[in-house]
Every structure is written in structure tokens, then in C-alpha cells.
Amino acid sequence: MEPRFNPSVNTQRHQYVIDFVKTHKPKKVVDLGCNDCSLLRKLKFHRAIELLCGVDLDSASMKKKMRELAPLPTDYLQPGASPLSIELYQGSVTQKDARLRGFDLVTSIELIEHLHLDAVERFTEVLFGYMTPGTAIVSTPNVEFNPLFPRMPGFRNSDHKFEWTRAEFQSWALKACGRYGYEAEFTGVGQAVPHLHLRVGFCTQIAVFRRLSRGGGAPASSDDSGEVFSYKLLYSVSYPSLCDNNVLRGCLVSEVLYWAHQLSRKRMEDGDEGWSHTEPETEPTGDPRETSTLREYEFEESVFDGEGAPGWEDIKMTSRGQLESYRQGRYVCVPLRRVWSCCPRVRDLSGSLARLRLFIADDPLVRLSQDGFAVVLDEGIHVLFLYSLIKRLRGAESC
């Protein structure tokens, strides 16, 4: 009976790489023979990766899907803690390019069988002798499995130049290990029924190469004296990250305004009881000579600027302090410390209340009381607030 795979063998191959990335968290990854970028489109969500590259000779295949590697709107709302850059190159895997040297992980999924055997030798030298990755994952069809596909007349794909047995694949891999200073382990995906598996092996065979310490194997390629750039850059994009102060400020502003409006709305839903009112009914200035009310909402700065994120029960207030919102005319003032106490993400992003004030003070979307202790909201601008955030997001997305 012809084997049926669920999920497909291609999905299983990609999942093997994804599981490896989840476990080992490489920062620099390149997929050789990336075709339509399907593996790259899955790997981009694993933000331990800081540089993700793809190489293929067929530029048309990459161009069909490469725009799907661009950041999503959620990447601007929830940027990663570390940067991510994605680059696509048109070029042959038998040619050298200095931009792809020293990666943590190189993947070559169902590629080598599309090369003539003399090109496989050049590919082996480029991969292990020139690129020298920390780890390489190479997969190829297992020809011993083919008899289980009775309707298959020859190779699995008309473009395949060869398909290896398990012994042939392992012989190639171990020869490369001995020459270039790697070790390999062998596995695969796509199992036959149990009583056949030992006889035919996996549908796709996989070798995982790990580079040994310096000193083993052959030295790097002899033409290292000059850098080689043989690939054509087709696509490059950088994702927003919290390493960028402008992105960090945007996230903080969005979080602070969201929580300030939520807290303000909750106080309005609770009714007038418990509201603190101050005079005059104009926009608060924070000048202590005009009103002493704002001074009543000051807190001990040391509580919020130390290590760790305080919970509600940990907050210590002065005898005159409170954490509730208060009104001044048609304006609602939400103490920053109230926002701080309700939003762990604000604490994580800013690190301290003083740093939080510094980040948001000059942002055009934020109105602070003059002393900087409260976010000032107009009760009638909730819709305008949301519109402003959407406009900011769209502006970031188009950058």
C-alpha cells in the first residue's frame, strides 16, 4: 500500500528545522535553495533569530512570495526584544559569498539532489570549507523508500540528478566531516509502517552536522585573502525592535495611553462617587502656586525606581498620596504610578518611573500635567485617541 503522510513530508521537514531552532536558538540562519521562501516565512516568527537569509538561483520563485517576509502590523504593536533582518540573495550554492560566512545554522532542504555530482563537490567545499557554519542541516530523498510508491516511474522529481541510498548519503556526509572538521548524526522524517521502517528507512533522510573545535579538519578555503560577493541581493527588510528608542517610545506611549483611558473609563463608569475634584475647571497646569491638589498625588519615587516590578500590595504611598484618577474640569488626570501599577509591560519596557516620564514627555500624543505626575485626558477624545494610534501604526508600517 502506498504510504500517506499526515502532515506532509515537506511539512515534517520544515518542522524538524523549526524544532531545532526552538531548542538551540541560533541568531544567524540561512536557507540554501530557499525556493518560494516557505521555510523562511515560518522561521521569521522565531525571534531568537536576528539575521535570516535565503539563497536560490531561481529569482522568480523568491519574488513570488518574498513580500510575505515583511513585518506584520502586530510586529509594530508588539516589537521583538532583539532586531531581525531578512535578506534574500540570487546565486548558486556552488559559489562563494562572504556575506554568508560564519552563520550559526545553514539549512539545505531537498537541494543537493538537484545538483550534478561534480557540483555537489563544489557545494560541499562552499558549505563546510568556506561558510563554516556552527551547524548545518542537510536533507535529501532516500531512494530505498521509493519502491513504496508503486506509481513512481523513476526519481521523485524530473529535475533530480541522483537519489542516494542511506549508505551513499552517510558516506558523503562522513567524508565531509573528516575533511572539514565536523561530526554528523543521521535521522529523517516520513516513516513507513513499522514492519517496513527498518528495511527502507525514512522517506527523507537528514544529516545534522556540527562543527568541531578549531584544529580539526581541513583549513578554510585558500582564497580567503579577498572577500567574494557573487550573489545579487534581491530583498532586504528590518523588523522593528525595542533596541530602537523610537520603537520603544511608541510602544510605551501606546501602552500608557491605553491604560490611562481604560482607568479613566472605569472611574467614569463608577459614577461621581469617589472622584476627586479640583478648581479651577480648566486644564491643569501643575503649578503649586495655583493649586496644591497635584502635590497630593505624589509618591515615594524610590518605590518604583528599584529593581523588580511591584505588585499592588507592594506599593507604599505617602499619607497624602492616592493612586486613583481625579478630575479637573472636563479633564481627567490619571497618575502615572496608577498606570505603572496596572501594567507590567510598562514596567518591563521602561525600567523605572523616571525613565518612563523621560520617554513619553515629548511625545505629541501624550499630555502630561506640568509636573509630569499624571496623564491628562479630555473626556471626549476617546475616539480621537484610537484614531491617532491607528495613524501612528500605519505610519510605522509604511516606513
pLDDT, tens digit, 9 for 90 and up, residues 120-130? 999 999 999 99
CATH number at residue 75: 3.40.50.150
Q: Are residues 172 and 302 in the same domain?
A: no
Question: Is residue 2 a part of any domain in this protein?
Answer: no
Strands (E), the chain: 28-32, 51-56, 85-90, 105-109, 135-141, 182-189, 204-211, 232-238, 277-278, 326-328, 331-335, 374-378
pLDDT-wise least confident of 48-57, 200-209, 265-274, 386-395: 386-395
What percent of the chain clears pLDDT 70, i.e. is strictly above it?
A: 77
In a domain, 180, yes or no: yes
Q: In terms of domains, do 213 and 280 share one? A: no
- The predicted-structure confidence for 213-266, as pLDDT tens digits, reads as follows 864 444 555 455 568 999 999 999 999 999 998 999 988 998 999 888 888 877
Looking at residues 313-327, what average pLDDT do you find? 49
The helix/strand/coil state of 215 is: coil
Mean of the per-residue pLDDT values for the chain?
82
Say if residue 111 is in the same domain as residue 201. yes
Q: What is the mean pLDDT of residues 42-51?
A: 96
Is 152 found in the same domain as 251?
A: no
Closest by Cα among 374, 219, 361 to 296: 374
Whether residue 280 is found in the same domain as residue 388: yes
Domain edge (last residue) among 211, 238, 265: 238
User: Above 90 in pLDDT, residue 281?
Assistant: no
Domain contains 1: no
Q: Which range of residues forms the domain containing residue 257?
A: 245-397
pLDDT for 307 = 39
Assigned domain for 194 exists: yes
- 279 and 219 inside one domain: no
Are 89 and 24 in the same domain?
Answer: yes
Q: Say if residue 48 is in the same domain as residue 192.
A: yes
Whether 255 and 313 share a structural domain: yes
Residues forming beta bridges with residue 55, ordered by sequence position: 32, 89
Listed in sequence order, the residues at least 6 apart from 55 whose beta carbon sits closer than 8 Å to its beta carbon are 30, 31, 32, 33, 34, 88, 89, 90, 91, 93, 100, 231
Tell whether 3 is covered by a domain.
no
Structural domain count of the chain: 2
Same domain, 191 and 325: no
Q: Which of residues 238, 267, 302 is at a domain's end?
A: 238
Q: Quick one: 189 and 338 in the same domain?
A: no
Name all contacts of 351-359 with Cβ < 8 Å and 24+ positions apart: 352/304, 352/305, 353/301, 353/304, 353/305, 354/301, 354/305, 356/252, 356/256, 359/245, 359/248, 359/249, 359/252, 359/253
Q: Is residue 52 part of a domain?
A: yes
Please say which residue of 238, 268, 295 terminates a domain.
238
Region of 35 (left: φ > 0; alpha: ψ -120 to 50; beta: rest) is: left
So what's the pLDDT on residue 37? 98
Quick check: is 388 in a domain? Answer: yes
Categorize the per-residue pLDDT at 328 as very low, low, confident or very high, splitting at 50, 70 and 90: confident
d(Cα 43, Cα 166) in Å, to the nearest integer? 28
Read off φ and ψ for residue 360, nearest 5 degrees.
-100, -10
3-state secondary structure 75-86: HHHCCECCCCEE
Tell me: do 162 and 263 sit in the same domain: no
